[in-house]
Structure 1
Amino acid sequence: MASPSQQLPPGWAAEWDATNQRYLFVETTTGRSQWEPPVAGPEIVGQEPSGSPPPAHHHGKRRQYAAGQTQAYYGGDSLGPSAPQYGNVPQQPAQLFTPGLAATEGGGQFAQQQQIQGGQQGYYAQEPEYINGPQQPVYPVQPPAQMGALADQFGQMNMGQKGPRLFTTNLLTSPPEPLELRQPPPEIFLPPNSCISPSPLANADSSYQRCTVNALPNSNSLLNKAKIPLGLILTPYRSLKEGEEPVPVVTDTVIARCRRCRTYINPYVQFIDGGNRWRCCMCSLSNEVPQLFDWDQARNQPGDRWARAELNHGVVEFVAPTEYMVRPPQPAVYIFLIDVSHTAIQSGMVATATRTILENLDRIPDESGRTKVSIIAFDTSLYFFSLPPGGADSQMLVVSDIDDVFLPKPTDLLVNLSEARATLETLLGRLSDMFQDNHTIGSALGPALQAAFQLIAPIGGKIMVLSSSLPSVGTGALKNREDPKILGTSKESGLLQAASPFYKTFAIDCSRAQVSVDMFLFSSGYQDVATLACLPHYTAGQTYFYPAFNASRTEDAIKFAHEFGEVLAQPIMLEAVMRVRASKNLRMSSFHGNFFVRSTDLLAMPAVPQDLSYAIEVQIEDTITAPFVVFQTAVLHTTCYGERRIRVVTTAVPVTSNLSEVFASADQVAIATLLANKAVERSITHKLEDARDALFNKMVEILIAYKSSMTAAGAGASAQLAVSENLKMLPVLVLGLLKSVGIRQSAQIPPDLRAYAQALLTSLPSQLLIPYIYPNFYALHSMPPECGTVGEQGVIMPAPLPLTSERLERHGLYLIEDGQTIFLWVGRDAVPQLVIDVFNLPNYEMLRGGKVTLPVLDNPFSQRVNAVIQKTREMRRGPYYQHLYIVKEDGEPPLRLWALSCLIQDRADVLPSYQQFISQLKDKVNGSSY
């Protein structure tokens, strides 16, 4: 067939679509495409809206849609009239073709277009907000008669059915919109009658458990076709903000579980045999309902079964009976392992740490009066403190033999917090002064850990390590591996692996004894975070890093004291084990996060901090015939108040054989969280470059799968880069991961900073991880007057801007934050009044960049800016307290570059801009087609 390009108007080109055996007409300037050649045709101009639609135009040639779509589009007659045009609304060029939804060019665009035209005709009470997105216009209660035919068409196109609807977007013409990341995940459309409860809380909230797809493919081959990684993101023990509902607790110890698969009863089971038995939603086994299930033990009378929390809530906690205990519930135990070497004392770490413990003694969980504490100090020797109850003075016992560690005294080293409170307070007040003149340089961290383990192992609990230097003597001594010559090379990943097997072996011993380790690291030099982070990684703890800590800088002292205090005050789950169960033909295949995998699917977590996240990959082993599947996470634990409990988190998602529903239900935030975990693991087991390649290739795979299955271009080349609307932000999140400190290509990132960033990437919950890889960016100088004031939901925040320096104006004041650091960017032409109002300085020249505490001044703008900063620090879960840096536009280059590196849509060094990245993806997607 001859190319029709000679007949086309300027700016248009024709591409041969091999799949549909016809030409696709592309406007070269915008990338828009359509089936019909762009030639002038009959059109109705200036017609007044009226009650009846204008006459339709017939096409002489039959449109070539995918098989089965022609009939749906034309409502029965495949040679019938084309879609009508109302009034003088211009025809929108076709965008993309989505089989299984709208059978016109543009997929979901057709429906939106009709709604716009209907609005012109007076059919709708309100205009829709925008055309090309998932929001729906407000429909009238009764559709007018003229719309009946259109409704019939929609019905035939499955548009009236309840289920995820697919909207396609072109990434080349749809820049990232930061507010989209604050949307909830795609809605879960379960089949009718799948849930026995009408409660909206029957499915777990996504902040506890979310799946990467909210419509599960029914077979592994369909999943492979979509290329979307299948996994669960869990934060089973997330903190509660003020006003949030606590997890309901079932106190009567009546726990109904399936006899075969051990699933806990939940809103997705079925009652049969007159309510005497229940059928498991996982394995379909019939189980007896426990005798006391319908009995209210508190009132000693028959109870209402349908009011039970476990039948109405996706997240519930059971008080466990004695058969769930192998020993009496353990008390909370805290051992503070404090480095008192010369560098630790000089930095002010010891003084800050002891003062923080002293100030937070009342916040340490101890309602039952059983909490125990111990303090061990170390440099190249070990210093134990005997804390006799009753207010007597403490006694220091020195052990200098670090090759064969022993406890110098059988009693009073680990003491009851309430009984030895006075002695402990005295010791904490004096500890820093006792070592004030200590000139010992060196660290026997390994032996100190062994001593703490001997003390805590019979009970279990938490070892909190505060270390200011590289372990240098005794077991676990490390050497400085930092070599600038190998940064940025293929050998760099070696620096991210543990240098000594001692720490992993020790961590596994700790896990067996129900001991968890938290690391607080303060070194001004190399500290080998990669090796030391093994301890929290395998014991379900957390790593905190304060490079070049100096307590004489108020900001450093405040950050550490705040974070350490929050960790001490956290309620923790002790001696926990977690297991994730799923419906038949689903298997948990690999696990990411801070824990030790004790058996194939049992995760041991000696002490679970709040807001720690875990990622689990799921495999489809065989075709799923059930209409929906259920994932259930159960965490058996002891509360820090001495009660054995089981937290159960249940999520049900529908099963589909429709690829468009898989794409329409994909959760871009969950996918990015899973990819972050997989990338970190790959960077350690392989190379950093492999991790980056794997991220890029996974994004390409998803786009190719979408293009070939969901668009008209099929396997051919396309001028567009298509993806579903709900995955629009995934490319920029992947770019954020590629540019994150933990993954990015650079020869300038110290290995300690990279290892710490990787620890964050694998432990932060999605709510913290997303801003970490896609920061928030606000213009403060031009924010609306209500921003920074208190509204119904607290302090009103400005709207976030896209992360590009194109938005930086030379007279502006901007806030950039990633959950760990806040930058205040001040333009070089900032007006003196702004500098006076915010910084209390006469002009921009007097301003100094760097780490600061912003003054609160007596003017509305200062108070609003401070309120926005305060809200930024408080709005997220977790103990983190962000440093604030002032960055002048013409200030110190390293600080400017650090702040600008958060604007990930810009080009930086060898890293591409967002537009370049999208172009690379497009070339790769099209390149694979030839």
Structure 2
Amino acid sequence: MASPAEQLPAGWAAEDNQHQRYLFIETATGVTQWELPASKDGPNIQNASPVAEPSVHHGKRRQYAAGQTQAYYGGGEAASDLAYPGPGLQPQAVTGAQLFTPGLVGENQFATQQTQPPPGQSGYYNQAESEYINAPTFGQPPPSYGQAPVDALTGQFGQMGVVGQKQFHLYTTNLLTSPPEPRDLQRPPPEIRLPPNSCISPSPLANAHASYQRCTLNAIPTTSSLLSKAKIPLALVITPYRSLKEGDEAVPVVTDTVIARCRRCRTYINPYVQFLEGGNRWRCCMCNMTNEVPQLFDWDQVRNQPGDRWSRAELNHSVVEFIAPTEYMVRPPQPAVYIFLIDVSNSAVQSGMVATATRTILENLNRIPDEDERTKVAIICFDVSLYFFSLPVGSTDSNMLVVSDIDDVFLPKPTDLLVNLAESRASLETLLGRINDMFQENSIIGSALGPALQAGFKLMSPIGGKIVVLSSTLPSVGPGALKNREDPKILGTAKESGLLQAAVPFYKTFAIDCSRAQVSVDMFLFSAAYQDVATLACLPHYTSGQTYYYPAFNAGRTEDAIKFAHEFGEVLAMPIMLEAVMRVRASRGLRMSSFHGNFFVRSTDLLAMPAVPQDQSYAIEIQIEEQINTPFVVMQTAVLHTTCYGERRIRVITLALPTTTILSEVFASADQVAIATLLANKAVERSLTHKLEDSREYVFQKLVDILIAYKTSMTSGGAGASAQLAISENLKMLPVLVLGLLKNVGIRQSAQIPPDIRAYSQALLTSLPSQILIPYIYPTFYALHNMPPEAGTIGENGVILPPALPLTSERLERHGLFLIEDGQTVFLWVGRDAVPQLVQDVFDLPSYDVLRGGKTTLRPLSNPFSERVNAVIQKIREMRRGVYYPHLYIVKEDGEPPLRLWALSALIQDRADVLPSYQQFISSLKDKVITT
């Protein structure tokens, strides 16, 4: 074997160091390990002696020999003897150093505080300091940026045992000279680089995808003091029941009811555990407890023969569902139950809401989940009285039963009110076709929403399910009655936050009763006048439902009817998790400290969710309680639920992240999208517990703290004044995301925002998954008049979108056609000098002057440009997860001022009213950073 000096690149040598060191060199056949004899002149590379032969990776593993149960890899006995043994354990065969076995974990390899070098690199292990010196970088810098490496780290490499060794680069951006680039938000989060052999599966799906579970940091500090130095919040953003788009990998289901869990911490077996004693036992990756492998774990119950352990889904997939055995049930799985509470007061009927709602239910009866034909439905209408409908089986008739005593609600009949959807289909269809006509002449103005909710609860509580409320009126009589508290004089003042809190306790206490009985509530609100969205949204908030708001709904406008019918239809067709509870477990030293989202916290860390809709997101903050001594940590979310098809299941989502003792790695691993998602939740919470101004100040100060921490620790300027405002490359979009959050109507400083609009925005900020939330606070901006030829045509991944522009009106051109969208609304901005041919091609009108602004439906015309523009709009409406169908508004450059200002407010890099431009915002940040 050639000596290490011959294997090293030219010019490499060893510097003085009194500590014994080991040198690792990766070659085509494996990794060699050399011991460098120490002397007064330092390690002598010429006299190094090999410690072990190269380990060779053969791609296939099938048998469970004793030496192969440490990890899933193909090496022989030598490789297994030297395998990474798991968190907190010593290497088995080599003292002070270990071999790295290449090719095991794909690209997810990151040696932090480990004895193994990263793949493709050589380096020294410092025994005395217990650290591997030359840790790899988090990703490569974009080719178009020329940021310098962090000055504060340069001294570290002068003490290394190798001259010319590749340095750890943390790429710094100067925010003063680096404007926001929208494409940066499309990049994946910083790569998760786990230590070699930390995963027993070579599957690329062994770690959670960011769309299911992402962390604000992809390298976890080992101590709380290191975390506090970075000032970056540590939190998980979880979307456990993410919808699947075409081409998405389905969640694998383990059907044999063999569920291996840790006896001590109850963690589910996953790709980061470790097998011992010939595969008969496994060591938990969170608490190190040794557990027996279940007897049937290696048995294929379908073929009734021995099975391949390494093909089991739970050892290869980070997201998996188990069919739960009976011990996971306190009762048989419930059927899906839907009770529709329909407001039939005068305003509800006149707006067309009742006709649209009943027609949508009728058209979507086949889409309501009912594969097992156990689904039950009921319809209760209400104004100041309650109207029940008896739907006898085998008949097309229905009987209406009126209850006018709303102070003590009772069910007028013990049967036929909550009926089986399949059995009573005929009478249900007839009823849905007649309801609007029944109440067409209704002149009653009030609303007994509270009593209607109580009636629905009485009907549903023995089973559980979902109450769907459709209301056009402020509740005015009976329990839960509300008063109009909208007061323009207090908008924009310190008292405004009071309008965002529940006006009466009824809806919160009722929500807790619902949660206990496994009842979830969805709110569809339509009023043209004040409806107190803040109070009514309490019900969905605490019962894991969702609020949908259609201000000034009028079905006479086609666009209003289409939007509501589309969204309501998608909600009806959505498969939902029923009677669910969620718990997040983490490695020792980590604790879930606070929870944000739509649920009720039943105990310290158990979240009760009676019915979990798809694409609802939750944020959970994490505390580091004690020093973490493991090279990586694991966070596992488990959701025990009943499917709407009558199966009890456990969805398990596992995320493994490396640990680090180096502050630069903390910054380099930060996920700006996850941080912005958490800050949105925290901002809303603070606006309710304090004031809106406190909410804005909190978000701004968190950003300032991160910038100060970065400047102090990571730049040569340190605590002094500097000509730059520095941040790591992977966080360069965080300031503009914070600015977008500060300008969002949920917390924006303004005296013009109606409290209902603000409350609805806050409901979105705390429930939308990151994929929809980020455009909601940082909209997307396209130029359509000069988009590339391929934009609007079909590519490999569907319709190709134009390149996104920075959100500034400087990009608007008088002759142009632009599109601005935030996931909830789409604006088509038409410049006043738009050529007649453009107006003709897109709007089928002769000139700009005859074009009218406002809410519209854009008709496809038989010309290529119209087809491309419509394709872009259609793609925008379909590309994100969730049920939302954005309205389309035409905005003329010299059109109606309110509509113009609304569209321009989406260009968050501009100054608007008292709100700063991006440049002003960055300048104020710099002033704060310098003076603090």
Q: CA deviation at 1:155?
A: 6.8
Alpha-carbon distance in structure 1 between the residues aligned to 2:382 and 2:407: 14
Q: Which runs of 4+ in 1 moved over 2 A?
A: 127-135, 150-161
Q: For residue 4 of structure 1, what is the aligned residue in structure 2?
A: none
Q: CA deviation at 1:273?
A: 1.2
Q: For residue 408 of structure 2, what is the aligned residue in structure 1?
A: 404
Q: Map residues 348-427 of structure 1 onto 2, 5 A cutoff.
A: 348-427=352-431
Q: CA deviation at 1:719?
A: 1.0
Structure 2 residue matching 1:574: 3-state secondary structure: strand
Contact 1:372 1:417 in 2 (8 A): yes
**Which of 132, 136, 153 is residue 146 of structure 2 equivalent to?**
132
> Which digits, 9 at most, give the CA deviation of each residue in 1:641-676, with x for residues without a partner?
000000000000000000000000000000000000
> Which digits, 9 at most, give the CA deviation of each residue in 1:244-271, with x for residues without a partner?
1100100000000000000000000010
Alpha-carbon distance in structure 1 between the residues aligned to 2:917 and 2:753: 20
Contact 2:396 2:430 in 1 (8 A): no
**Which of 857, 860, 872 is residue 861 of structure 2 equivalent to?**
857
Alpha-carbon distance in structure 1 between the residues aligned to 2:736 and 2:600: 32
State the AA in 2 paired with 1:685: T
The yes-or-no answer on 1:847 pairing with 2:861 is no
Alpha-carbon distance in structure 1 between the residues aligned to 2:860 and 2:278: 67
Q: Map residues 444-523 of structure 1 onto 2, 5 A cutoff.
A: 444-523=448-527
Q: For residue 824 of structure 1, what is the aligned residue in structure 2?
A: 828
State the AA in 2 paired with 1:484: P
Q: CA deviation at 1:128?
A: 8.7
Q: Map residues 573-588 of structure 1 onto 2, 5 A cutoff.
A: 573-588=577-592
**Shift in alpha-carbon separation, 1:151–1:789, aligned structure 2, 3 A:** farther
**Which of 581, 587, 593 is residue 589 of structure 1 equivalent to?**
593
**Which of 547, 562, 570 is residue 558 of structure 1 equivalent to?**
562
State the AA in 1 paired with 2:369: P
Alpha-carbon distance in structure 2 between the residues aligned to 1:466 and 1:621: 46
Alpha-carbon distance in structure 1 between the residues aligned to 2:884 and 2:696: 27
**Which of 299, 302, 322 is residue 318 of structure 1 equivalent to?**
322
**Which of 245, 249, 263 is residue 249 of structure 2 equivalent to?**
245
Q: CA deviation at 1:151?
A: 14
Alpha-carbon distance in structure 2 between the residues aligned to 1:154 and 1:681: 51
Q: For residue 178 of structure 1, what is the aligned residue in structure 2?
A: 182
Structure 2 residue matching 1:923: 3-state secondary structure: helix
Structure 2 residue matching 1:757: 3-state secondary structure: helix
Q: For residue 265 of structure 1, what is the aligned residue in structure 2?
A: 269
Structure 2 stretches of 5 or more lacking a match? 1-40, 42-111, 113-140, 150-156
**Shift in alpha-carbon separation, 1:158–1:622, aligned structure 2, 3 A:** farther
Alpha-carbon distance in structure 1 between the residues aligned to 2:166 and 2:883: 45
Q: Map residues 501-650 of structure 1 onto 2, 5 A cutoff.
A: 501-650=505-654
Alpha-carbon distance in structure 2 between the residues aligned to 1:715 and 1:551: 60
Alpha-carbon distance in structure 2 between the residues aligned to 1:834 and 1:281: 62
**Which of 314, 339, 342 is residue 343 of structure 2 equivalent to?**
339
Alpha-carbon distance in structure 2 between the residues aligned to 1:520 and 1:487: 25
Contact 1:247 1:315 in 2 (8 A): yes
Q: Map residues 711-730 of structure 1 onto 2, 5 A cutoff.
A: 711-730=715-734
**Which deviates the most, 861-870 or 386-395?**
386-395
Q: CA deviation at 1:391?
A: 2.3
Provide the aligned C-alpha RMSD in A: 2.0
**Which of 276, 282, 295 is residue 280 of structure 2 equivalent to?**
276
Alpha-carbon distance in structure 1 between the residues aligned to 2:418 and 2:637: 35
State the AA in 2 paired with 1:678: K
State the AA in 2 paired with 1:781: H
> Which digits, 9 at most, give the CA deviation of each residue in 1:554-584, with x for residues without a partner?
0000000000000000000000000000000
Alpha-carbon distance in structure 1 between the residues aligned to 2:163 and 2:242: 44
Alpha-carbon distance in structure 2 between the residues aligned to 1:157 and 1:494: 62
Q: For residue 894 of structure 1, what is the aligned residue in structure 2?
A: 898
Alpha-carbon distance in structure 2 between the residues aligned to 1:155 and 1:602: 51
Alpha-carbon distance in structure 2 between the residues aligned to 1:701 and 1:471: 44
State the AA in 1 paired with 2:144: Y
Contact 2:396 2:428 in 1 (8 A): no
Question: In percent, how many aligned pairs have the same letter?
Answer: 82
Alpha-carbon distance in structure 1 between the residues aligned to 2:235 and 2:885: 30
Contact 1:134 1:725 in 2 (8 A): no
Alpha-carbon distance in structure 2 between the residues aligned to 1:501 and 1:824: 43
State the AA in 1 paired with 2:318: G
Structure 2 residue matching 1:756: 3-state secondary structure: helix
Alpha-carbon distance in structure 1 between the residues aligned to 2:875 and 2:580: 33
Q: Map residues 103-182 of structure 1 onto 2, 5 A cutoff.
A: 129-132=143-146, 159=166, 165-182=169-186
State the AA in 2 paired with 1:588: M
**Shift in alpha-carbon separation, 1:580–1:552, aligned structure 2, 3 A:** same
The yes-or-no answer on 1:201 pairing with 2:205 is yes
Contact 2:586 2:633 in 1 (8 A): yes
Alpha-carbon distance in structure 1 between the residues aligned to 2:360 and 2:544: 23
State the AA in 1 paired with 2:146: N
**Shift in alpha-carbon separation, 1:453–1:528, aligned structure 2, 3 A:** same
Q: Map residues 59-78 of structure 1 onto 2, 5 A cutoff.
A: none
Alpha-carbon distance in structure 2 between the residues aligned to 1:155 and 1:805: 52
Contact 1:251 1:318 in 2 (8 A): yes
Q: For residue 736 of structure 1, what is the aligned residue in structure 2?
A: 740
The yes-or-no answer on 1:210 pairing with 2:228 is no
Alpha-carbon distance in structure 2 between the residues aligned to 1:316 and 1:659: 34
**Shift in alpha-carbon separation, 1:269–1:174, aligned structure 2, 3 A:** same
Alpha-carbon distance in structure 1 between the residues aligned to 2:546 and 2:608: 15
Contact 2:148 2:172 in 1 (8 A): no
Q: For residue 882 of structure 1, what is the aligned residue in structure 2?
A: 886
Structure 1 residue matching 2:257: 3-state secondary structure: coil
Alpha-carbon distance in structure 2 between the residues aligned to 1:456 and 1:597: 22
**Shift in alpha-carbon separation, 1:847–1:533, aligned structure 2, 3 A:** same
> Which digits, 9 at most, give the CA deviation of each residue in 1:303-352, with x for residues without a partner?
11011000011100000000000000000000000000000000000000
Contact 1:154 1:160 in 2 (8 A): no
TM-score, length-scaled by structure 2: 0.83
**Shift in alpha-carbon separation, 1:625–1:867, aligned structure 2, 3 A:** same
